[in-house]
A = this chain, B = another copy of it.
Amino acid sequence: MSVNKNISIAKIQCKCTQLSSLLSALSHPQRIMILGHLAKGEKTVTELQRLCKVSQSQLSQFLIRMKLQGLVTCSRKGRFQYYAAKDKKIIKLIEAIQAIFC
């Protein structure tokens, strides 16, 4: 009983830690914008650069960070790197945020 309660508290805390790093990875104006675009379909780094008006270096760093955090995936096709929202959950998240606040 007390043990189960502790386990469930541990689980909740663990979830909150995961969630907070996920939200941190999204907590930047440009990264929100980037994910907003990727939620509509995959884009190359160059396309994102045009859409988001951000320096090449920073864009690359943002994308890599979001990839490490599990927000996006990428796959190279020829000389372009295509980035996309990682999965349905991520798309739902950004859409929910937009639906609530925009």
Residues of A participating in the B interface, judged by any CB pair closer than 8 Å: 12-13, 15-24, 26-33, 36, 89, 92-93, 96-97, 100-102
Cβ–Cβ contact A15 & B101, under 8 A: yes
Copies assembled: 2
Q: Once the chains are docked, how many angstroms separate the CA of A27 from the CA of B27?
A: 8
4 pairs of A and B residues whose beta carbons are closest in the complex: A96-B96, A16-B29, A24-B27, A23-B27
A102 with B33, Cβ < 8 A, contacts A20-B27, A27-B23 known: no
Q: Tell me, in angstroms, the Cα distance from A52 to B12 when the chains sit together.
A: 10
Chain B, Cβ-Cβ closest to A102: B15
A93 contact from B13, B29, B97, Cβ within 8 A = B97
